[in-house]
Copies of this chain bind each other. A is one copy, B any other.
Amino acid sequence: MKLTSLQEIGEFGLINELKLSATRQNASTQYGIGDDAAVIEPGKKQVVISTDMLVEGVHFDLTFCPLRHLGYKAVAVNVSDIAAMNATPTQILVSLAVGGRYSVEAIKELYDGIRIACENYKVDLVGGDTTSSNSGLIINVTAIGEANAEDVVYRNTAQVNDLVCVTGDLGAAFLGLQILEREKQAFMANPEMQPELEQKEYLVQRQLRPEARMDVIHELRELGVKPTSMIDISDGLASELFHICGQSGVGAAIYQDKLPADEQVLNTAEEFRIDPLTCILNGGEDYELLFTVKLSDFDKIKNHPDITILGKIVPKEEGLNLVTPSGNAYPLKAQGWEHFQQ
């Protein structure tokens, strides 16, 4: 197959190629790609808006991250921010800087992933910018969502006695990255080798193609539960809990035996000689939701298969503690992913 260079098609050509696949899914989308700006009509709703930049070599490694998954992930992590406000995602804008070594076909693969994510999360691609880069690939996604003012959930509104909850399970995306990096090293040492990914599929999938938990947002609405505070887990459970508690002026007690982890996390942590607790508390990129609910909502959520009640909010003076099965309390540490400190 002959690949088309970006030089051949030019920026305007690329925009036209990409424009064709855009269809409108939200009533608030008045005008998308094709003018100086997109136009949105949110009616009486509030608009929530978030932006995230992914940089090649820092946030992703194209030796093991397929471009289609990367496009999907770039959208999912931004939708996750909208979910964490208890809002409904409606539009995205995508800026791309692309090195000359990329073909039009490669960029289309990336956009295929973006398009699939737009369909899954029912958001409209309404704008963006495409430019060249002297080095790697850079993707910036801005996500827009809408919510009634009374439904928006902030980080700074957790109250003492609220229950601390988390969706899904934790630590898998971090271990998925360890697996992929190990396989990359092995491949570079011996290009004939086959990757050893048996029993690791879940970990790899969680790293390469995370999902925003819009499903849980919709289910909480159906259950009549409005979280009292919420954040998505991009930097690790402990780090995010510090954000909620710090901004709300409260403490928290988290029970070690409640922490949700997949069996592959437990087995693989052992294989890598990492404490599984470290993966669960400090592994980033799971994009699950950490939230608090009123104690009176306990019955509504206690049997939800994707929600785990981890502990409770306590007065600020008690601090943030991990409580072991034997009842000892250890202060939590926020070891977020500090990209500048790598």
Q: Which chain A residues have a beta carbon within 8 Å of chain B's beta carbons?
A: 6-7, 9-12, 14, 30-31, 34-42, 44, 46-53, 55-59, 81-82, 84-85, 87, 91, 93, 95-97, 100, 126-129, 131-136, 138, 140, 142-145, 149, 152, 154-156, 230-232, 247, 336, 338-342
Contact = CB atoms under 8 A, between A and B. Distances in A.
Nearest to A95: B53
Given A31-B154, A95-B140, A339-B131, A145 B37 contact: yes
Contacts of A9: 340
B47 A131 contact: no
B95 A51 contact: yes
Q: How many copies does the complex hold?
A: 2
11 contacts: A6-B340, A36-B84, A36-B230, A37-B82, A38-B49, A41-B149, A49-B144, A51-B95, A55-B133, A57-B134, A134-B135
B231 A36 contact: yes
Given A11-B339, A138-B97, A340-B6, A127 B35 contact: no
A81 B132 contact: no
Given A40-B47, A55-B131, 15 more contacts: A6-B340, A35-B155, A36-B84, A37-B50, A37-B85, A39-B47, A41-B46, A41-B149, A42-B42, A44-B44, A49-B93, A49-B126, A51-B129, A57-B134, A133-B138
